[in-house]
Amino acid sequence: MYTEKLLEHFRNPRNYGRIEDADGVGKVGNPVCGDVMYLYIKVDDGRIADIKFETFGCAAAIATSSMVTEMVKGKTIEEALQITNKAVAEALGGLPPIKMHCSLLAEEGLKAAILDYYSRRGIEPPQELVERLKRLRGEDTHDAAE
Ligand code: FES
């Protein structure tokens, strides 16, 4: 049911681990299954200089976590904010529909870490980010995953 690319990321996750002196940390849980993800970012000159994750979840959750870190490493915060769970799933060659909710952790973890970064710096976060996080955390996770 999984693509080769997804299985490869699951077996060899990129950027797995923790950043002790992170500039932003996102801790998120998947309301559908109870799985949990931590995402850590270091920001330098407006870019994501380093990123690591710890995900306690299924193969799809680990592979999408790994993929999202690869997609945003070195990107600006603004570019990172454009990433959706759908784009992460597509980069892995797709996910079976019943596993689409697993990819929500990757987007939500990244966005929660960026929100944490903004709040530590006393920066007002973009309204779009606040709205999207609300939606990702809301009851209607199926809708957010589409
Ligand atoms: S089953 Fe929980 S994230 Fe996949």
Model pLDDT, residue 31: 84
Predicted local distance difference test score (pLDDT) of residue 36: 96
**What span, in angstroms and rounded, lies between the C-alpha atoms of 82 and 100?**
18
Predicted pLDDT at 6: 98
- Which of helix, strand or coil describes residue 57? coil
In the prediction, which pLDDT does 137 show?
A: 87
33 is catalytic: yes
Query: Considering 11, 17, 33, 119, which one is annotated as catalytic?
Result: 33
What pLDDT score does 140 carry?
47
- For residue 82, report the phi and psi dihedrals to the nearest 5 degrees: -80, -15
- Which amino acid residue places its CA nearest to atom 4 of ligand 1? 102
The answer to whether 63 touches 4, Cβ cutoff 8 Å, is no
Given a cut of 50, the residues of the chain with pLDDT beneath it are 139-141, 146
**What is the reported pLDDT for 32?**
85
Residues 145, 100 contacting (CB under 8 angstroms): yes
Cα 60 from Cα 96, distance rounded (Å): 10
- Backbone dihedral angles phi then psi of residue 26, each to the nearest 5 degrees: -115, 125
4-140: CATH class: alpha beta
Position 110, amino acid = L
Task: Give pTM, 2 decimals.
Answer: 0.93
pLDDT number for residue 144: 59
Quick: pLDDT tens for 2-44.
Answer: 999 999 999 999 999 999 999 999 999 988 899 999 999 999 9
Can you give the pLDDT at residue 143? 52
Q: Whose CA is nearest to atom 3 of ligand 1?
A: 102
Q: Which residues have C-beta within 8 Å of that of residue 52, sequence separation ≥ 6? A: 15, 16, 17, 18, 19, 39, 40, 69
Give, for ligand 1, the residue of 10, 28, 30, 65 to mutate: max count of ligand atoms closer than 8 Å to Cβ.
30
Q: Which residues have a Cβ under 8 Å from the Cβ of 73 and sit 6 or more positions away?
A: 15, 48, 50, 51
Backbone angles phi, psi at 57, to 5 degrees: -165, -165
